Amino acid sequence: MSDEEYMKLLDRAFSMAHTTGSEASDFVIPKVDSLVQGNKTMLRNLNVIADKARRDPKEIARYISKELGVPVSIEEQRLMISGKFQVADLDKRVHRYFEVYVICKECHKPDTRLEGAGRGMFYLVCEACGSRYGVKNY
């Protein structure tokens, strides 16, 4: 077999091969659905966000409370936040939570879980690729 024939066969094989690097992910970080009532902001889709993150709603509530510096409470599957906050501010906090505590930094998939590591740290363990690295407790 000549080099030219080999290169043609190789090009044909590569064109037919399935590429894994360019796969589009169907994972989308949910947008915040909030409503301001008086001096409180209600996040109406806390359970949707928690289900997508595969985390406990109380953990997400605690993170948002720390980030905003205000007390929060969970009432009837909604997060009540003391103070008036715009959707963009809440979206930014939720997006940051997913970046740090949900999405794997190696394979960029959301198939992770948090394990306690002590001393204010967690291990983010990816169930898709097996990577494991430390993240700060919120």
pLDDT of residue 26: 79
Residues 52-82 pLDDT 10s: 999 999 999 999 999 999 999 999 889 999 9
> Which residue ranges make up each domain of the chain?
29-102, 108-138
Kindly give the parts of the chain with pLDDT less than 70: 18-25
The long-range contacts involving 124-128, CB below 8 angstroms and separated by at least 24 positions, are: 128/104
- Note the pLDDT of residue 9: 85
* CATH number assigned to the domain with residue range 29-102, chosen from the 4 options 3.30.30.170, 3.30.230.70, 3.40.50.40, 3.90.650.10: 3.30.30.170
d(Cα 122, Cα 110) in Å, to the nearest integer? 16
